[in-house]
Amino acid sequence: MLTEVMDTVEVPHPHQIRCDGCGHMTPSYDIVHYGSIDKGYRQLCSGCFNLEAAQLAGLKGFEHAKFHPVGLTDCAGVLHEFHFRLRLFGPGVALDAFELSDGSPAGYQFQLIGEPEEDLLVLLARLLEKIRRALSVKHLISDQGGSQIADHRIVRGLIEWDEDCDGRVPILVIDGREIGWDEFGRMLMSYEGWQFKLNIADKSDEL
């Protein structure tokens, strides 16, 4: 009797890249293009990148942490699933939280900066509290005329690149959804003649 033997072939996901360090298939958002022109570049997952960055910085005892996605509900009862990414940079460590759309960060996005020696679980807890505070407020409401600025007249969001406009004007992420510059301008026209204050801050800052 002949027995057919079939090899198991790992088929990469279109949004995954094989890490040149550990060899594991890794989501593209968790890959760092690392190296130099002289020595060439490698594609490393955050774990491998952080290990090398810690060695170069002389950080003894640093351990990379990988956090599982967390689901949190906003004030309208909508569930949002957040994924996490941890990166060492110079004297600090950045912990990012974001939603995914088609395999890439989108929607709500948050960041906290901590010390490399800090307990990463404590940093995660602080970031989750920051997310909960943001989800507890809606900055836009909907009526018959479409989306409008809420009655408290404060808008917080993220400035992103608008591919449709080649970066000439931004696209804004407000309440976790993309708002075009023209659409936001229409909302502002409800307050024609009013004053406004624009405060721009780093993603890791509290607004």
Whole-prediction pTM value? 0.87
Cβ atoms 174, 150 nearer than 8 A: no
Would you say how long the chain is, in residues? 207
pLDDT (tens digit per residue) in 145-179: 789 999 999 999 999 999 899 989 999 999 999 99
Paired tokens of 55: 């060695």
Rounded to an integer, what distance in angstroms lies between the CA atom of residue 84 and that of residue 82?
A: 7
In the block, tokens 């010390």 appear at 115
For residue 71, the Cα-to-chain-centroid distance in whole angstroms is 15
pLDDT (tens digit per residue) in 105-133: 999 999 999 998 899 999 999 999 999 99
CA count, 13 A, side-chain hemisphere, 199: 8
Please give the backbone phi and psi of residue 133, each rounded to the nearest 5 degrees, phi first.
-65, -40
pLDDT (tens digit per residue) in 49-96: 999 999 988 888 888 999 999 999 999 999 999 999 999 997 899 999
Amino acid at 106: A
Amino acid at 167: G
